[in-house]
Amino acid sequence: MPYSFYEDDHTAFRHSVRGLVQRSVLPHQEEWEEARLVDRSFWKAAAGVGALGLRIPERFGGAGSDDYRFRCVIQEELAEVGAASLASGIAINEDIVASYLVRFGTEEQQRRWLPGMAAGDVVTSIAMTEPGGGSDLRGIRTLARRDGSDWVLDGAKTFITNGAGSDLVIVAARTGETAGRARLSLFLVPSTAAGFQRGRKLKKLGLHAQDTAELFFDGLRLPADALLGEEGTGFRQLTAQLPLERLSIAWRAVVAAEAAVRWTLEYTRERTAFGQRLVDFQNTRFRLAELTTEVEVTRSHLERCILDLNDGTLDAITGAKAKWWATELQNRVVGACLQLHGGYGYMDEYRISRAYADARVQTLVGGTTEIMKDIIGRDLAGPKPDRGA
């Protein structure tokens, strides 16, 4: 029996998602790009076709599904129309915040936030990166201190996806030290809390429709039940979610690359130069053959990773490998596709132009390529020998 990644349920779901994209995404992309923000009406529309809350338990209004292939379908349909900004924003809501709440949240926390997320009424973000901090989570300076039964939060975050429009933010903060190393904890911070301030909506090279912002916390007081999980377990919580988070980025990368190749094949079949179609030049055919092969091989590996994720067997190292490889591939492929478009590839009226700018951040977010390689390399090296033995 031939291998098939998707099943009938995924195909039926795709029809609904494709209709959503045609009705509620395509007509608004330029408007969102200019506003640097996706209108809240989209979230309600997405909830209406079951495209939100896939991992959220049914008792909270979600689908209660751990099958990540449904999320893969959404990513593919958004990639086909070049809606990378939206794909990234949804991933924060669905793959990160919803997963943290489902895995680590109390019944009360889940009851408060998950129904709104599934219904499209609550948009979320996660705040880890700080000014000057980059990938160094152990250097986090945002501080949460106890004051009676409450917590008081002070600090600043930057590069926060969905930061300008989110209703709930998961904030990573220091809550002490152990053996000279920072102890991190995660907090559920409503944007309505006194002391919560939004800074600039940041201007970026790409992903213009994705609202990215600075956030500030000035004496922000939180009740004891705002703590997500146990105090001091922030690193462990973050590590537990890494396979899913990195695979989410990797899948967005490969489907964006696939879409770029499809657009380019269509363009080179229609465009003529020197009396023949561009695709009839041997260089064009060879380049497209290379790109198609690279993308298909990468997709095949990621499909295996997703099935392992569904089974609960995907590890953080494999996730790191998938993330750096797929995002570097995306940049190579999209760059080559722009080249095959010639001067028109530089024009915003062609999707490849926006895809080129949108792709660049992929090797940075979720841990840079260099961080991924260091993680893999340290695992390969194994423990350092005891020189004193």
| 37-94 tens-digit pLDDT | 999 999 999 999 999 999 999 999 999 999 999 999 999 999 999 999 999 999 999 9
Q: Mean pLDDT throughout 359-374?
A: 96
**Residue 388 banded pLDDT, cuts 50, 70, 90:** low
Q: Mean pLDDT throughout 292-301?
A: 98
Cβ–Cβ < 8 Å for 244, 99 = yes
Cβ–Cβ < 8 Å for 314, 245 = no
Q: What share of the chain is helix, strand, coil (3-state, %, to 5)?
A: 55, 15, 25
Percent of the chain with pLDDT over 70: 97
Q: Give catalytic residues, as residue numbers.
A: 245
> 181-190 and 227-228: which strand pairing?
antiparallel
**Whole-number mean pLDDT of the chain?**
94
| 253-268 tens-digit pLDDT | 999 999 999 999 999 9
Whether 351 has a pLDDT exceeding 70, the answer reads: yes
Q: Is the pTM of this model over 0.75?
A: yes
Domains in the chain, start-ordered, CATH in brackets? 8-122 (1.10.540.10), 126-232 (2.40.110.10), 236-381 (1.20.140.10)
Using CA atoms, how far apart are residues 381 and 65, in angstroms rounded to an integer?
37
| Cα distances (Å, whole numbers) of residue 371 to 269, 306, 323, 366 | 40, 22, 11, 10
**Residue 240 banded pLDDT, cuts 50, 70, 90:** confident
Cβ–Cβ < 8 Å for 204, 163 = no
Whether 110 has a pLDDT exceeding 60, the answer reads: yes
| 149-208 tens-digit pLDDT | 999 999 999 999 999 999 999 999 999 877 667 789 999 999 999 999 999 999 999 999
φ and ψ of 69, to 5 deg = -60, -25
Q: Which residues contact 380 (CB under 8 A, 6 or more apart)?
A: none
Q: What's the pLDDT at 1? A: 45
